[in-house]
Amino acid sequence: MDARPARPTLCIADQTISRVASVARAAGWQLRKINTTDDASTEMDKDTAIVLMSRPLTPSLRKRFPHALFIGHLPDLNTDLTIQPDANESALNQLITHGEENWRRHQQVLELFREVGARRKRMRQLSEIGVSLSTRMELDDLLETILQEARRLAGCDAGSLYLTEEVDGVRSLVFKLAQNDSVDVPFVESRLPLTPESVAGYVAVSGQELDIPDVYELPESVPYRFNRSFDEQMGYRTRSMLVLPMRDHRDRIVGVLQFINRLEPTANQPVPFGPEISELLRAVASQAAVSIQKNTLIRDINQLFESFVQASVKTIEQRDPSTSGHSFRVAETTVGLLQALPRSDLNRFRHIEFSADQIREVRYAALLHDFGKVAVRENVLVKSHKLPVDRLELIRYRVELQKERLRRRAVERELELFHHGAPDLEVARGRVNRALQAELELLNNYYERIVNANEPNVLDEGDFRHLQEIREYAYQEFDGTDNGLITEPDMLALSVRKGSLTPEERLEIQAHVVHTREFLSVLPWPPELARVPEIAGAHHEKLDGSGYPAGLSGEEIPLASRVMTVCDIYDALTAMDRPYKRAMSREAALEVLEDEARQGLLDTDIVTVFIEARIDASNHADTAVLRLA
């Protein structure tokens, strides 16, 4: 509240001499002479109660003295009152009394205006605090904002904030924040026992607010005491204090706000907080409790969601342990490449900006890009060779069985030669053995070709025409039926030129992208993560439209998906944990990426940034370490 003169002022204009001045002086008024011709003065005088005039009143004077009575000696001066020269002392005293009453009414009105203005300002500040606390921010920033804005609203010099926590069933008070405009606070977060012995502890335990005019003069009857160690160490004097509990919507105390030394505006001295400020800060404390709980809830939800994503990735890896670590590596390299795009020299990416939420969205999409593999049959998902192990074993059994047939047939032929006494028996037996060895060698050669053909190729390569010869090889079973070493399905599987999957199996594997998108689309993603299904579901699309599942092309494919495609291919080529292929060197893998970019399958600029930024991830199963050279 602004300090005001206890007595009003009487201004005498233009050297006017009046008995009114004598009466006013006797009543304790202040006297001052002014020049009414000085219209240039724009300073407003709110403390003058009466102005004595000998000249006509001008608008500029009325503006200069808005709360004064203008009194003249002549009726044509346009003043508020006219005093006759022969007015007696009683009339002059009445005039002075009337002038003072008028002045004091104006002062009261001014004070009310000031108070209304101050209250409007506080309500506006309170509204601004509510808006500020409703925005998303990290917990530390939120606590800083709560205390800073509440102190600004109350006009206090210092403050502290405490939160209640429960660990292993034991509740405690955590000293989270301290602010002081007069001294630098050497603050260190600490944990205090939740007892009523301290001021903050008492409020946290009892739920009662404390408005203390002077904490150095606490009654002996109260259970709490004020610790003066900070004051003694820093040369500070804590006087007035307001301590409020922060309650959530369940009426649980989640923390304590402690305000110190509310300052009187003009004298800058500590004054008690009082009921009006207490009411405002009580509203702030309520808003703060809701904001803290909302922040904590969002943090817990994010942690829960992060755990869900991690568990989902581990579920994929448990079904296919050979790809362990792939999703984590792809996520790390995708984020690294995405962040490297604006830092490149390419004008196309120079003005791109990614928010923290966008990066988080892409990271989740990359982590979950293969989740749809949970719907793929396990024998297809983990298929390391073109033929299943049991099928190759059956073919080996057929080869060995056919060898035994040939050996038996050769023995039977030798016995027949011996029984009939064939001339040149040894020569004939030699011919039989040579024919047997040739056929055994042929079977060994066939099986070796089958084993070699069973190994998958990383690239689209290989000549499998010899498989037709093996397919046409026929023999007769013991029961007289005809059979062959390999069946038509065996031949089709062994003829796969790239990878280990047949066309039908490849379609089943490719369907994992559809499963991924469908699964992720069911989840209730918040708005900032709404594109996770779209980004994850497009990581096998190609720029020329030859990809799957939707055959998107060019800009139809999200930028994040195009980035992920490069990282996914690179990791699949260089990973050391795939049993069905040898890991490529970095140089060879980059050549593959460049070749696909030249063919129009991959984004050339993204591949260029990937190579120049040397973005890579270590091939560890559990961790992916980003390296930006």
Residue 564 domain flag: yes
Least reliable range by pLDDT among 125-129, 357-361, 436-440, 565-569? 125-129
Q: What is the DSSP string of 27-96?
A: TT-EEEEE-TT-TT------SEEEEEESS---HHHHHHSTTPEEEESSGGG--SEE--TT--HHHHHHHH
* pTM for the model: 0.61
Residue 623 pLDDT greater than 50, yes or no: no
- Let me know whether 38 and 84 are in one domain: yes
Residue 555 pLDDT greater than 90, yes or no: yes
Band of pLDDT at residue 624, cut at 50, 70 and 90: very low
Token pair recorded at residue 373:
């593999």
Token pair recorded at residue 572:
């699949």
Report the pLDDT value the prediction gives residue 337, as an integer from 0 to 100.
94
| 60 neighbors 42 (Cβ within 8 angstroms) | no
| 236 neighbors 230 (Cβ within 8 angstroms) | yes
Report the pLDDT value the prediction gives residue 25, as an integer from 0 to 100.
84
Report the pLDDT value the prediction gives residue 277, as an integer from 0 to 100.
84
Average pLDDT over residues 342-368: 92
Band of pLDDT at residue 622, cut at 50, 70 and 90: very low
Give percent of the chain above pLDDT 70: 88
- Let me know whether 91 and 141 are in one domain: no
Cis peptide before 549 (omega within 30 of 0): yes
Q: 3-state class of 163 per DSSP?
A: strand
Average pLDDT over residues 224-247: 92
More confident residue, 126 or 442: 442
CA angle (457, 459, 462) in 5-degree steps? 60
Report the pLDDT value the prediction gives residue 14, as an integer from 0 to 100.
59
Band of pLDDT at residue 118, cut at 50, 70 and 90: low
| Closest by CA position to 212, among listed 235, 248, 204, 203 | 203
Q: How many residues does the chain have?
A: 629
Average pLDDT over residues 230-257: 90
- Let me know whether 288 and 159 are in one domain: yes
The H or E element that residue 171 is part of is strand 170-180
Q: How many domains does the chain have?
A: 4
Residue 519 domain flag: no
First to last CA, the chain: 63
Cβ neighbours of 543 (radius 10 Å):
22
Beta bridge partners of 171: 166
Least reliable range by pLDDT among 40-54, 382-396, 518-532? 40-54
- Let me know whether 272 and 352 are in one domain: no
Report the pLDDT value the prediction gives residue 441, as an integer from 0 to 100.
94
- Let me know whether 365 and 393 are in one domain: no
CATH number at residue 77: 3.40.50.2300
Residues sharing a CB contact under 8 Å with residue 512, sequence separation 6 or more, in sequence order:
370, 372, 373, 375, 376
Residue 163 domain flag: yes
- Let me know whether 484 and 533 are in one domain: no
Report the pLDDT value the prediction gives residue 549, as an integer from 0 to 100.
93
| 155 neighbors 264 (Cβ within 8 angstroms) | no
Report the pLDDT value the prediction gives residue 80, as an integer from 0 to 100.
84
- Let me know whether 145 and 257 are in one domain: yes
CATH number at residue 545: 1.10.3210.10
Instruction: List phi, psi (to 5°) of 104.
Output: -70, -35
Model confidence over 277-329: pLDDT tens digits?
888 888 888 777 777 777 777 788 888 888 888 888 888 877 777 677 899 99
CATH number at residue 170: 3.30.450.40
- Let me know whether 213 and 267 are in one domain: yes
Model confidence over 139-178: pLDDT tens digits?
788 888 888 888 888 889 999 999 998 888 888 999 999 9
3-state helix, strand, coil in the chain (%, to 5): 50, 15, 35
- Let me know whether 418 and 489 are in one domain: yes
- Let me know whether 250 and 173 are in one domain: yes
- Let me know whether 182 and 274 are in one domain: yes
- Let me know whether 335 and 276 are in one domain: no
Cβ neighbours of 511 (radius 10 Å):
16
Residue 621 pLDDT greater than 70, yes or no: no
The owner of tokens 């063919």 is 599
Cβ neighbours of 598 (radius 10 Å):
11
More confident residue, 260 or 12: 260
Report the pLDDT value the prediction gives residue 369, as an integer from 0 to 100.
92
Domain that holds residue 467: 389-500
Q: Of 265, 298, 331, which residue constitutes the final position of a domain?
A: 298
For 168, left (φ over 0), alpha (ψ -120 to 50), or beta?
left
Model confidence over 570-609: pLDDT tens digits?
998 888 655 556 778 899 999 999 999 999 999 999 999 9
Token pair recorded at residue 101:
């009453």
| Closest by CA position to 495, among listed 469, 531, 515 | 469
Residue 507 domain flag: no
Average pLDDT over residues 548-572: 94
Average pLDDT of the residues of the chain: 83
Band of pLDDT at residue 390, cut at 50, 70 and 90: confident
Residue 439 pLDDT greater than 50, yes or no: yes
Residue 494 pLDDT greater than 80, yes or no: yes
Residue 201 domain flag: yes
Residue 514 domain flag: no
Q: Of 241, 268, 298, which residue constitutes the final position of a domain?
A: 298
Least reliable range by pLDDT among 37-46, 228-237, 277-286, 520-529? 37-46
Q: Of 481, 500, 519, which residue constitutes the final position of a domain?
A: 500
Residue 100 domain flag: yes
- Residues 150 and 156: their CA atoms lie apart, in Å, by 9
Token pair recorded at residue 187:
């603050």
Residue 384 domain flag: no
